[in-house]
Chain A
């Protein structure tokens, strides 16, 4: 009986459910700051120089890294949650998971490359 408890999976998904909520709450908090700075104040500076100046400070670097990491994780884990609602053959389920992880890693490295270059 034990094996069938979570549709034959050893993973309850509870950890991911919890992390999805925690990352979401952090993203909302960071997003308020992002919106006030980048959208509500047009004078904040969207020029190359202004962006570079922000990029050089460890604080904004930290914010950007948080954004890229949590945003991608939250988004792709959410995408996986959409797929999980449908009955999938094990090979298809594994393939989708591998593709989502590769997609996440690719964009994470592109993001890190931009942030950490300066």
Chain B
């Protein structure tokens, strides 16, 4: 145990992770987890960013102008994709837990992916071309 370095621990963890057979639900679980952690980080950044309101009108408007730059718009789209997957899959989880969703959870997941891709494409139109 003492010679187990952080690197070998991490590679062992990855080995275990990749050797499990993934079914449809496993991928949904992995994506839900990654997007969830990303969104938690984002809400904190969002809270910090909006403290710009306390710095007065010019400072806040300059900050908003920065968020209109192409790189931030791309980030907004990426964020939209995370939000879209997490909320659609979250609705699926609620249906499985509270409704009769366990019988149709794979079909709902297909619906989540199709609707998600459509909505994220629509978002790209609104963000980049509108």
Interface residue ranges, A against B (CB under 8 Å): 21, 24-25, 27-28, 31, 35, 39-40, 42, 46-49, 51-52, 55, 68, 71-72, 75-76, 78-79, 82, 103, 107, 110-111, 113-114, 117-118
Q: Does B33 contact A (CB under 8 A)?
A: yes
- A48 with B40: CB separation less than 8 A: no
A43 to chain B, nearest CB (A): 10
Once A39-B80, A75-B40 are accepted as A-B contacts, the answer to whether A46 and B50 lie under 8 Å apart by CB is no
Docked pose: A6 CA to B37 CA in angstroms: 26
A65 to chain B, nearest CB (A): 12
Docked pose: A48 CA to B56 CA in angstroms: 8
Q: Which residues of B contact A35 (CB under 8 A)?
A: 80, 83
Number of cross-chain contacts by CB at 8 Å? 77
B interface size (C-beta, 8 A): 33
| Closest residue of A by beta carbon distance from B79 | A39
**Pairs A–B under 8 Å by Cβ, sample size 11:** A25-B91, A39-B76, A39-B126, A48-B56, A51-B60, A78-B36, A82-B33, A107-B43, A107-B44, A110-B48, A117-B53
- A21 with B93: CB separation less than 8 A: yes
Q: Which one, B47, B61, B67, contacts A47 given CB within 8 A?
A: B61
Docked pose: A78 CA to B34 CA in angstroms: 11
Contact bitstring B106-127, A, C-beta under 8 A = 1, else 0: 0000000000000000010011
Q: Which residues of B contact A118 (CB under 8 A)?
A: 53
Contact bitstring B53-65, A, C-beta under 8 A = 1, else 0: 1101100110010
Q: Which residues of B contact A47 (CB under 8 A)?
A: 61, 64
Q: Which residues of B contact A79 (CB under 8 A)?
A: 36-37, 40
| Closest residue of A by beta carbon distance from B44 | A107
- B87 with A75: CB separation less than 8 A: no
Docked pose: A68 CA to B60 CA in angstroms: 20
Docked pose: A111 CA to B64 CA in angstroms: 18
